[in-house]
Amino acid sequence: MGDIQIRGATKRFGAVTAVDGVSLDVADGEFLVLLGPSGCGKSTLLRAIAGLTPLTAGALELDGRDITHTPPRERDLAMVFQSYALYPHLSVERNIGFPLRARRQSRHDIRRKVAEVAGTLELSELLQRRPRELSGGQRQRVALGRALVRDPGAFLLDEPLSNLDAKLRASTRYELVELHRRLRATFVYVTHDQVEAMTMATRIAILNQGRLEQVGTPEEVYDEPASEFVAGFLGSPPMNLFPATIVSRVSRVSRGGELVALAPGMEVPLGRRGEVPDTDVVLGIRPEHLRPNRPHPAMSGTVRLLENLGGEEIAHCAVGEVRLCVRGPRPLGLAAGDEIGLAVEPGHVHVFHPETGRRLRWQDDGAETVPPSPTEHTEQGVPA
Ligand SMILES: Nc1ncnc2c1ncn2[C@@H]1O[C@H](COP(=O)(O)OP(=O)(O)OP(=O)(O)O)[C@@H](O)[C@H]1O
Ligand SMILES: [Mg+2]
């Protein structure tokens, strides 16, 4: 079992609040990724779960048992660090078996268990080598093996792939997902790499300055970001975010007006009807959702620059005062200097509160739409 409950976890280092009231349930067998920019508190939170950093406030439970003050070695959790922290003078076999020797298991049991783990990680041929005789990826697997051999309740991994080159990262990513599938164990995995998070996680928890911004499946956090921060952090290039004003445009056909977001050079239909007072918001549209040269463009502007990414192309465009990225399969059929119209489907327009940055949700009251209000959030940062 490996069910981890984090309740109001807070860690201060003097004046710095590294982790700020984080509450999160990690279910048994989940692959939970802690994602966020450098310094947002990911490692501190992971080390607190491992027991290496005591919390200033809050509580931790493992399978319903309070472990807030339990020493690390009694927590039944295995941690894998970015630097592999292998013993350079010991063979691969002895590195992997180290935790079992520390627990004084029999030589026979240790040999059997190490052989089993080495088989899983395809290290059987390398057991007599020293760490310096291994590639980065092989060393990382040895570090994983040392965690695996203990059969822990959960694995805690802190940027384990960041020392690997791009190709090895991609293949090790795949191996880790396979391993997780086979072991059905709980993984809590720290990274600042959104590709790792999107491809590996069953759920992603996004941290910003020690606070939990949102927890959800990769699809949820990408498709319905709970805040401007999450919207701008995920995606490459990130979501276009710019100020706009929502107004009701009088319409002859419907009772109440049609809601549109206005900004210089744009009039973006929101697919809603109702009477709302003019409301300042931040609008968000992903680059892949802006379609050049379609009927009924919501904006008009100029292409400034094209970037060729191989299979795809990015057009940097100026619309009124804002710069927008448009992404699509190459060729987009555009050239620098072109005047263009850009269309977007109402379902792909995100709206955020201009001060709090929280996502605004429409509340439909019969046929009427009332002004959007900030998303209600539960303690876990998940939309209620
Ligand atoms: N031992 C410490 N003493 C003082 N401040 C610390 C200590 N450890 C971390 N911090 C501070 O706490 C904040 C969070 O640090 P943390 O290492 O958890 O960030 P991170 O999200 O893991 O960043 P990175 O992606 O760069 O590894 C930072 O501002 C950091 O400077
Ligand atoms: Mg870190």
281 phi/psi in degrees, rounded to 5? -140, 175
Distance from the CA of 55 to the center of ligand 2, in angstroms? 17
At 380 the pLDDT is 40
C-alpha distance across the termini of the chain, in Å:
28
At 272 the pLDDT is 86
Which regions in the chain score pLDDT beneath 50? 366-368, 376-384
71 phi/psi in degrees, rounded to 5? -65, 150
Distance from the CA of 18 to the center of ligand 1, in angstroms? 6
Rounded Cα distance, 22 and 20, in Å = 6
Peptide bond into 237 cis (omega under 30): yes
Read off the tokens for 275: 């009477």
Distance from the CA of 48 to the center of ligand 1, in angstroms? 12
Distance from the CA of 193 to the center of ligand 2, in angstroms? 12
- Residues pairing with 306 in the sheet: 315
The torsion region of residue 381 among left (phi > 0), alpha (psi -120 to 50) and beta comes to left
Burial class (CB in 10 A: 0-12, 13-18, 19+), 101: exposed
Domains of the chain: 4-227 (3.40.50.300), 240-371 (2.40.50.140)
At 375 the pLDDT is 52
Distance from the CA of 41 to the center of ligand 1, in angstroms? 6
User: Per residue in 146-183, pLDDT tens?
Assistant: 988 988 889 999 998 887 778 778 888 888 898 899 88
User: Ligand 1 atom 17: the closest Cα is on which residue?
Assistant: 43
At 252 the pLDDT is 64
Q: Which of 10, 12, 16 to mutate to test the pocket of ligand 1 (most atoms within 8 A of CB)?
A: 16
Residues 14/51, Cβ–Cβ less than 8 Å: no
Residues 374/357, Cβ–Cβ less than 8 Å: no
Burial class (CB in 10 A: 0-12, 13-18, 19+), 154: buried
At 249 the pLDDT is 85
> Residue 210 CA: which ligand 1 atom is closest?
14
User: Ligand 1 atom 24: the closest Cα is on which residue?
Assistant: 38
The ligand that comes nearest to the alpha carbon of residue 9 is: 1
At 382 the pLDDT is 38
Q: Which of 19, 42, 158 to mutate to test the pocket of ligand 1 (most atoms within 8 A of CB)?
A: 42
